[in-house]
Amino acid sequence: KKVEVTFTDALRKHLAKTGFDPLMGARPMQRLIQDTIRRALADELLFGRLVDGGRLTVDVDADGKVNLDIQPPRKSDKPKTEPTPA
pLDDT of 52-86, one tens digit each?
999 999 999 999 999 999 999 987 655 566 666 66
Instruction: Determine the structural domain holding residue 10 and report its residue range.
Output: 3-75
Distances (CA, A) of 16 to 12, 13, 26, 32: 6, 5, 8, 10
Is residue 60 situated within a structural domain?
yes
Would you put residue 50 in left (φ > 0), alpha (ψ -120 to 50) or beta? alpha
CATH number for the domain harbouring residue 17: 1.10.8.60
pTM assigned to the model: 0.75
Residue 76: strand, helix, or coil: helix
